[in-house]
Amino acid sequence: MAQQAHCKCTAFAGPNRIASGELAEVALRAKAVIDQAAEPAVLIFDDATGELVEVDFRGAPADVLRRLGERTTDHIGLQEAVEPPRRGPGRPKLGVVAREITLLPRHWDWLNSQTGGASVALRRLVDGARRVHDGRDRVRRSQEAAYRFMYTMAGDAPGFEEAARALFAGSLERFDQRSQAWPEDIREHARMLAGPALTSGSS
C-alpha cells in the first residue's frame, strides 16, 4: 500500500512510542533508533487506518526520505495512468467530474422528474446519505483502525479479546478495564484510535 509522505503516523520501538507526526518526520526518528539498536524492532502505524507503514531504512537518512518521495510520486503516477483525466461533459472549474453510472429505466425516470434533473437529484441524494451515515462511518473507521493496531501490538496481551469486544460494543469503561494491563504507550495509542468508537456507549 502506497503511503503519502505527509500522512500522520506513529512509530513504536517494542512497546514504546518513539515518534508521532508526519511520515517523513517519524521515519527519520525511527531510522535513528534503528541505527542505534543492535536488534531493532521498530513499527510505524498510519494513524488514520491503523495499518503498518512499510519504510525502507537502508542507507543514510537522505536516502530514506528520497525513497519516500519516489514512492509517493510513483503512486500518483499510477493513479493518473489508471484514471486519466476525462474530457467532455462536466464543469471542471467547479470540481464536477463526469462518470458513467448504470441504472434501471424506472430509476432514470424518477431522477429526470426531479427539480434540476438527474445530476442535481443524485448530488442531493449522495449529500443526504453522507450526512445521515457520517457518524456511523466514523465509528466504523475508528473500530477498524484501533483493532488493526491492537491486533499487531497487543494480540497476545492479557485482556485483548475482551478489549476487542468492548471496542466493537462501544463500551469505554470495559475497554479501559480490559486494556489496563497493557504497556502504557500501547494502551494510550489504542485508546486514541478507538476514541470515536467508544463515545457511542459506556456500558
Each residue's pLDDT tens digit, 169-193: 999 999 999 999 999 999 999 999 9
190: left (phi over 0), alpha (psi -120 to 50) or beta: alpha
* Cell numbers standing for residue 177: 478495564
Residue type, 116: G
Give the pLDDT of residue 129. 63
Q: Delimit the domains of the chain by residue range.
A: 8-82, 90-203
Apex 117 CA angle, 112 and 123, nearest 5: 110
Give 103's DSSP letter. -
d(CA 93, CA 112): 25
Predicted confidence band of residue 121 (pLDDT cuts 50, 70, 90): confident
pTM, 2 dp: 0.70
Looking at residue 91, its pLDDT comes to 54
Task: Tell me what percent of the residues of the chain surpass a pLDDT of 70.
Answer: 76
| Residue 108: pLDDT band with limits 50, 70, 90 | confident
Contact (Cβ atoms closer than 8 angstroms) between residue 74 and residue 5 = no
Q: How confident is the model at residue 110 (pLDDT cuts 50, 70, 90)?
A: confident
Do 1 and 51 contact (CB within 8 A), yes or no? yes
Question: 60-86: per-residue pLDDT in tens?
Answer: 999 999 999 876 544 434 344 444 445
| Mean pLDDT over the full length of the chain | 83
Cα of 59 vs its chain's centroid, Å: 28
Residues 30/22, Cβ–Cβ less than 8 Å: no
